[in-house]
Amino acid sequence: MAAKTTAPTKRPVPRIYLATPPLGDGADAGDRLTGLLDAADIAAVLLRLRPADDRSLIRHIKTLAPVIQQRGIALLLDGHFDIVARAGADGAHVSGIDAVNDALSALKPDRIVGAGGLASRHDSMIAAEAGADYVLFGEPDQGGHRPKLEAIVERLSWWAEVFEPPCVAHAADLAEVGALAATGADFILLDEFVWRDPRGPRQALTDAGQAIATAMTSPVAENQA
């Protein structure tokens, strides 16, 4: 595992990793995304797809890919690493060490593999050592249960301080974004709360970007840099 060996430097501002709800029709989904992707500093989109055969999934992905990638935003699939290359996506996010190893074998060295479903510090280190491009902390498990915010903050701070591979923080709501940004996380994964916001997802994204910027100029963030 590659630990940080150089003197600490000022952290870059975390960027947004936007997860979509499960999408079906690519054209409709593209229309939804077009008006959102300039609302904040989005580095990547995690595309979640409704169940369908591979041919239909690939068609949907190819419809959405230009909307995302032409803006310089990476397109990752939630699972489905076996169709990443055929669909023209940039990579896949998978859960669990076994899935990480399978995805790495299929996608490296040309595409991105993100690792989630990491139940322990040991699992996160194994995933990064194997070659995962990032590790995700704080997402709900299959039963919908999630660690407390304090535990997620502690895990992210530990990783950001010790290890080189990027870490991603899962934000369950807008109120968590600032605290997660201040940990040293490289990316903040914004999920369902963006799409449920009664004001609309664009406003939620704008507010999340502002929360990140505010957190990074706070005295606590400056002292941790």
Integer Cα distance of 53 and 55 in angstroms? 6
Q: Where are the domains of the chain?
A: 15-224
Architecture of domain 15-224: Alpha-Beta Barrel (3.20)
Q: Are 142 and 129 contacting, i.e. CB atoms less than 8 angstroms apart? A: no
Average pLDDT over residues 199-218: 94
CB atoms within 10 A of CB 67: 21
Lowest mean pLDDT, pick from 7-11, 64-68, 205-209 = 7-11
Integer Cα distance of 188 and 45 in angstroms? 11
Q: Are 180 and 16 contacting, i.e. CB atoms less than 8 angstroms apart? A: no
Model pLDDT, residue 217: 87
Interval 166-201: pLDDT, tens: 999 999 999 999 999 999 999 999 999 999 999 999
Integer Cα distance of 100 and 81 in angstroms? 10
3-class DSSP state of 115: strand
- Whole-model pTM? 0.92
Q: How confident is the model at residue 10 (pLDDT cuts 50, 70, 90)?
A: low
Q: Is 102 exposed, middle or buried (0-12, 13-18, 19+ CB in 10 A)?
A: middle
Strands (DSSP E) contained in the chain are 15-19, 42-47, 74-78, 91-95, 112-116, 134-137, 167-171, 187-190
Q: How confident is the model at residue 31 (pLDDT cuts 50, 70, 90)?
A: confident
Report the candidate in 74, 35, 199, 180 with the shortest Cα–Cα distance to residue 207: 199
Integer Cα distance of 45 and 218 in angstroms? 27
Selected residue with higher pLDDT from 192 and 220: 192
Integer Cα distance of 215 and 39 in angstroms? 18
Integer Cα distance of 126 and 156 in angstroms? 16
CA distances from 209 to 4, 83, 161, 166, 216 (A): 27, 32, 23, 19, 11
3-class DSSP state of 196: helix
Model pLDDT, residue 221: 55
